[in-house]
């Protein structure tokens, strides 16, 4: 048996202490106080300040550090905590923006996330500290009690999808009731805490549940369901694996808090924990990286990824899942990899340098999440006996799953992960990759062509049809590209292109076929137009090097995130990437192209009207399209192509051809060592029939408008 210890975490945290002084300031006139980052009253700076306070409080108790380091960590932790209490509405000093913080929907989140750090340093709080803390906690609790209703709803656009905030607000009220049982409203705090918690991981079946909590049935508590019937989450308007993790991480904080303080954790804390963990566990790569099949709208490999650490510790401790430690260790190794790459003690200082220069506010928040989440492991693994590694860890546990609301299909089998999701964070997105190669996974419009205008384009989430069958799936649909933030006065938001596509995961355990067709709806200036759009990360996690090989002795290596834009044509219909992923151009172009924008252009994030920022180097493998900028007219054909991707296998093995069909019916035949298939998509407005040889059997789908079908040769 191997073991993860608190020391593993402390050693990972320790280098950051050399970087920390850059982020700390004393407010004018108060040398006794310290703030981290920008010190504003907004919720991110407030959370960041408390994040760092908690992490330093944990390090102040770490025997791995020298006594002088522990003392300094403890003093700074207290000064940061005191700044937070002083600048609260109950305090007596303004934050750096001359305002106070507190009493809104997210104001207690930082306090929840730092609760273990408060326990670590509780014996060093003065009488005045305890009095200030009590005033703060009761003020926030009274506000939640009197002014913040409990709501829940599946669809993000309703404004009621609040799984994680219900959990952290419920957790805060529960802790207030437990820590201050003498307060007159303790019973009210406890009662509303139950309401919040029971409407956190809320499910449609809760509306009929007769299970009782505190003398009331679950259906009586139930105000709405935040999760779909099969445990997907629409938070921020897409299939958001990251916030499924965040929900479990907040429950973990409450679980360990009760355990440390000797409180009896109420059963509402654990409602549906097992069901959600069982789903989330399938959405993890074996190295701990989140398998975000629905994508991500923020910087890659940060925030939600960091908060998987408390989730894994919770799964190991409460659920007894011995696989969790393997995932935990894998992520610690990745954190160390990036920290070593930076070479200055920071967690993201090189990869997110552009973000740091544009938004110090945002950057320092992400650094604080990294150090905080490591502190959970450093603290809880020292305090509690948490499960060690499993000897039977399954690196690619089999799973076949689909979700109607998000138009999602997902398959893990053999050594491969394959998926397609229409309601993705940055539009429809697909994935085909070996489970052992999380460094090759990316979701920003992956495996679906790009029709990007020169303004502020967005791919809508679209309508879809999908079917799972043993060993595979078929998924098809259509979505528009829109101008979502035009520059001109009076200029409207409009759709400028209709993009139809279909994909099939073959029952060979490795291959996906794709067909796509797109037309212009309204004249617009396009800045980028291409088919396929396989987005291949090329950054520090693959040592900034990708090797590409094609038939005819073609082989070359590309270093990560070049200084200047590059485009390389490959005179072949197939391409191997690192010998791990193969790409095949079935029709719709004469050659494959590899396009690379300058710098870390991939995984773009955008805050309202601010500049676009990248957080990952990307090589873009594409086909078809035309030179840009261009200005196509309504009705003009933009894309008409087919391609395939296979995770593993021989590059020279497949044989394929396009089979001509009338109108807008598209069909290809694809054959490899595992079998022969025909895949067709109806991109037209009417049902069609395809001529299929008698020795082919329908596996799934239909040729209704917008649908696709897959046949296999007997």
Extents of the domains making up the chain: 399-713
Q: What is the 3-state secondary structure (H, E, C) of 518-587?
A: EEECCCCCEEEEEEEEEEEECCHHHCCEEEEEECCCEEEEEECCCCCCEEEEECCCEEEECCCEEEEEEE
Confidence of residue 611 (pLDDT cuts 50, 70, 90): low
Q: Where are the alpha helices (DSSP H) in 148-225?
A: 163-179, 186-198, 218-221
46 close to 104: Cβ distance less than 8 angstroms? no
Strand bridging mode 655-658 / 675-682? unpaired
Residue written as tokens 């930076």? Answer: 342
Asked if pLDDT for residue 161 goes beyond 60, the answer is yes
Residue 464 CA to residue 322 CA, distance in Å, equals 38
Residue 129 Cα to chain centre, angstroms: 37
Retrieve residue 504's tokens.
């099939």
Backbone phi and psi for residue 558, each to the nearest 5 degrees, phi listed first: -115, 130
In order of 251, 633, 655, the CA distances from 262 in angstroms are 17, 69, 65
Please give the average per-residue pLDDT across 413-424, as a whole number: 96
Please tell me the predicted confidence (pLDDT) of residue 376: 98
Q: What is the mean pLDDT of the chain?
A: 95
Please tell me the predicted confidence (pLDDT) of residue 385: 92
Asked if pLDDT for residue 580 goes beyond 60, the answer is yes
Kind plus residue range of the DSSP H or E element containing 641: strand 637-647
Interval 675-698: pLDDT, tens:
999 999 999 999 999 989 999 999
Confidence of residue 488 (pLDDT cuts 50, 70, 90): confident
The closest of 156, 437, 484, 472 to 294, measured between CA atoms, is 156
Asked if pLDDT for residue 389 goes beyond 90, the answer is no
Please tell me the predicted confidence (pLDDT) of residue 334: 98
Under CATH, which architecture does the 399-713 domain have?
Distorted Sandwich (2.70)
Query: The whole model's pTM is what?
Result: 0.97
The closest of 251, 255, 139, 143 to 198, measured between CA atoms, is 251
The DSSP call for residue 633 is P
300 close to 438: Cβ distance less than 8 angstroms? no
Interval 7-26: pLDDT, tens:
999 999 999 999 999 999 99
Residue 604 CA to residue 611 CA, distance in Å, equals 10
Confidence of residue 608 (pLDDT cuts 50, 70, 90): low
Q: At what angle do helices 308-317 and 273-280 cross, to 10 degrees?
A: 120
Retrieve residue 596's tokens.
């690379």
Please give the average per-residue pLDDT across 566-579, as a whole number: 96
Residue 23 CA to residue 45 CA, distance in Å, equals 12
Please give the average per-residue pLDDT across 458-463, as a whole number: 77
Confidence of residue 312 (pLDDT cuts 50, 70, 90): very high
Please tell me the predicted confidence (pLDDT) of residue 487: 74
Strand bridging mode 494-505 / 554-559? unpaired
Confidence of residue 1 (pLDDT cuts 50, 70, 90): very low
Interval 201-240: pLDDT, tens:
999 999 999 999 999 999 999 999 999 999 999 999 999 9
568 close to 594: Cβ distance less than 8 angstroms? yes
Confidence of residue 492 (pLDDT cuts 50, 70, 90): confident
Interval 618-652: pLDDT, tens:
999 999 878 899 999 999 999 999 999 999 989 99
Residue 43 Cα to chain centre, angstroms: 21
């Amino acid at each position: 048996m191997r073991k993860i210890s608190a020391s593993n975490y402390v050693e990972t945290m320790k280098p950051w202490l050399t970087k920390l002084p850059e982020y700390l300031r004393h407010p004018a006139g108060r040398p006794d106080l310290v703030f981290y980052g920008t010190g504003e009253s907004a919720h991110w700076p407030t959370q960041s300040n408390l994040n760092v306070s908690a992490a330093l409080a944990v390090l102040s108790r770490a025997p791995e550090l020298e006594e002088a380091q522990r003392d300094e960590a403890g003093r700074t932790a207290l000064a940061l905590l005191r700044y937070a209490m002083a600048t609260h509405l109950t305090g007596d000093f303004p934050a750096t923006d001359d305002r106070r913080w507190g009493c809104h929907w997210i104001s207690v989140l930082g306090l929840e996330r730092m609760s273990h750090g408060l326990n670590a340093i509780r014996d060093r709080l003065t009488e005045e500290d305890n009095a200030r803390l009590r005033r703060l906690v009761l003020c926030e609790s009274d506000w939640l009690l009197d002014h913040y209703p409990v709501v829940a709803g599946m669809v993000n656009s309703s404004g009621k999808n609040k799984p994680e905030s219900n959990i952290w607000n419920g957790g805060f009220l529960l802790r207030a009731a437990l820590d201050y049982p003498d307060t007159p409203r303790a019973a009210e705090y406890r009662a509303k805490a139950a309401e919040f918690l029971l409407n956190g991981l809320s499910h449609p079946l809760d509306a009929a549940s007769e299970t009782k909590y505190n003398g009331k049935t679950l259906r009586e508590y139930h105000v709405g369901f935040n999760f779909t019937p099969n445990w997907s989450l629409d938070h921020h308007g897409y299939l958001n694996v990251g916030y499924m993790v965040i929900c479990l991480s907040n429950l973990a904080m409450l679980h360990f808090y009760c355990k440390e303080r000797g409180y009896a954790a109420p059963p509402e804390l654990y409602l549906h924990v097992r069901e959600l963990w069982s789903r989330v566990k399938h959405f993890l790569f074996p190295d701990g990286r989140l398998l975000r099949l629905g994508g991500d709208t923020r910087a890659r490999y940060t925030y939600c990824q960091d908060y998987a650490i408390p989730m894994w510790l919770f799964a190991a401790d409460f659920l007894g899942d011995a696989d969790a430690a393997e995932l935990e260790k894998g992520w610690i190794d990745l954190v160390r990899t990036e920290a070593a790459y930076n070479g200055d003690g920071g967690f993201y200082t090189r990869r997110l340098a552009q973000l740091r220069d544009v938004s110090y506010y945002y950057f320092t928040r992400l650094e604080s999440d990294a150090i905080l989440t490591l502190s959970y492991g450093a603290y809880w693994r020292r305090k509690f006996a948490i499960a060690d590694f499993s000897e039977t860890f399954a690196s690619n546990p089999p799973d076949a799953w689909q979700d109607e609301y998000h138009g999602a299909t997902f398959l893990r089998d053999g050594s491969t992960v394959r998926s397609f999701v229409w309601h993705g964070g940055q539009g429809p997105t697909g994935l085909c990759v070996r489970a052992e190669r999380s460094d090759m996974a990316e979701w920003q419009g992956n495996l679906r062509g790009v029709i990007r205008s020169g303004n502020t384009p967005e791919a809508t989430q679209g309508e879809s049809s999908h079917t799972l069958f043993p060993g595979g799936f078929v998924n098809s649909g259509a979505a528009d590209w829109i101008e979502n933030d035009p520059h001109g006065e009076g200029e409207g938001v409009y759709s400028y292109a209709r993009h139809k596509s279909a994909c099939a995961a073959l029952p060979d355990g490795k291959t996906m076929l794709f067909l796509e067709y797109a037309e212009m709806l309204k004249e617009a200036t396009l800045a980028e137009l291409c088919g396929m759009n396989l987005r291949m990360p090329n950054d520090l996690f693959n040592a900034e090097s990708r090797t590409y090989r094609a038939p005819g002795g073609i082989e070359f290596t590309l270093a990560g995130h070049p200084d200047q834009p590059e485009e390389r044509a490959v005179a072949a219909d197939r391409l191997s990437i690192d010998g791990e992923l193969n790409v095949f151009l079935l029709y719709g172009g004469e050659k494959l192209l590899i396009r690379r924008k300058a710098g870390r252009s991939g995984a773009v994030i955008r805050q309202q009207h601010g500049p676009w920022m990248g957080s990952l180097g990307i090589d873009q493998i594409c086909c078809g399209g035309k030179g840009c900028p261009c200005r196509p007219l309504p009705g003009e054909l933009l894309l008409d192509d087919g391609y395939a991707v296979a995770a593993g296998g021989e590059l020279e093995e497949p044989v394929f051809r396009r089979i001509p069909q009338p109108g807008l019916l598209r069909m290809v035949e694809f054959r490899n060592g595992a079998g022969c298939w025909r895949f067709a998509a109806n991109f037209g407005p009417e049902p069609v029939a395809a001529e299929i040889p008698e020795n082919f059997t329908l596996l799934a789908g239909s040729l209704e408008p917008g649908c696709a079908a897959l046949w296999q040769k007997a």
